[in-house]
Amino acid sequence: DAKTTQPPSMDCAEGRAANLPCNHSTISGNEYVYWYRQIHSQGPQYIIHGLKNNETNEMASLIITEDRKSSTLILPHATLRDTAVYYCIVRARYSNSGYALNFGKGTSLLVTP
Amino acid sequence: DTEVTQTPKHLVMGMTNKKSLKCEQHMGHRAMYWYKQKAKKPPELMFVYSYEKLSINESVPSRFSPECPNSSLLNLHLHALQPEDSALYLCASSQGEGVIADTQYFGPGTRLTVL
């Protein structure tokens, strides 16, 4: 199963872009990269996922390098409510077509006023 | 709507009690999951149900007994737990096998304290 490496913590000023990096150098060709976040004591919240191309939705953008060995989650205008632990996950396969999530330690993002 | 509900929000139980955690989703998802999260640790997978059948048991002790009565409902029956089982128990659901980019959606969790 592909593993991910993230910095343990990051700070970001409110209103600025938060760029959260993730390394997944052992990712295989058909594995997706997923991002979730978890605000203190709540359930993880799905943010975005991607395979090869860059992706954008109403919450964030995901930039995946051409070799797919790393990615960056971008929160374009961070707010205090974005303070959370952010998990970059390459899914672990459990059957011919089913997947479970293999959470790493994540990045604790602190957005400051 | 991507809502997964879990009850109760909080549960305190003694080591001899029997209790159950409940999870429900009405998104038509066919895969449902239980995760356990200890304080300051990431969630860890416990069980996976696919089309109402148990497809993964991650070597979880038998004092945890999952049940999937129908495609919308997932229970976790608890019996003779230990204090070290105190944790946040998270339920998730997804469309299930055969979906290329299958996305899991989580409930808010049940905070369990075993005395």
- What token pair was written down for B90? 């998270």
Query: For residue range B37-65, what is the model confidence (pLDDT) as tens digits?
Result: 999 999 999 999 999 999 888 889 999 99
Give yes or no for residue B70 having a pLDDT over 90.
yes
Q: Chain A contacts of B56, Cβ < 8 Å?
A: 94, 100
Query: Given an 8 Å threshold on Cβ–Cβ distance, is A51 in contact with B101?
Result: yes
Report the percent of chain B where pLDDT is more than 70: 98
Contact B111/B11 with Cβ under 8 angstroms?
A: yes
Nearest chain B CA: its distance from A47 CA (Å): 10
Nearest chain B CA: its distance from A82 CA (Å): 17
DSSP string over A53-88: S-EE-SS-EEEE-TTSSEEEEEETT--GGG-EEEEE
Q: How far, rounded to the nearest angstrom, does the alpha carbon of residue A5 sit from its chain's CA centroid?
A: 11
pLDDT for the residue numbered A95:
66
Query: For residue range A64-107, what is the model confidence (pLDDT) as tens digits?
Result: 999 999 999 999 999 999 999 999 999 777 666 567 888 999 99
Nearest chain B CA: its distance from A66 CA (Å): 20
In angstroms, the CA A53 to CA A45 distance is 22
In angstroms, the CA B34 to CA B43 distance is 10
Query: For residue range A13-46, what is the model confidence (pLDDT) as tens digits?
Result: 999 999 999 999 988 888 899 999 999 889 999 9
In angstroms, the CA A38 to CA A46 distance is 9
Query: Given an 8 Å threshold on Cβ–Cβ distance, is A42 in contact with B55?
Result: no
- Scanning A48-77 for CB atoms below 8 A from B yields 49, 51
Contact A35/A21 with Cβ under 8 angstroms?
A: no
Q: Chain B contacts of A107, Cβ < 8 Å?
A: none
Query: Given an 8 Å threshold on Cβ–Cβ distance, is A100 in contact with B4?
Result: no
Query: For residue range A96-107, what is the model confidence (pLDDT) as tens digits?
Result: 656 788 899 999
Question: DSSP code of B42?
Answer: -
Nearest chain A CA: its distance from B6 CA (Å): 10
pLDDT for the residue numbered A28:
85
pLDDT for the residue numbered A59:
95
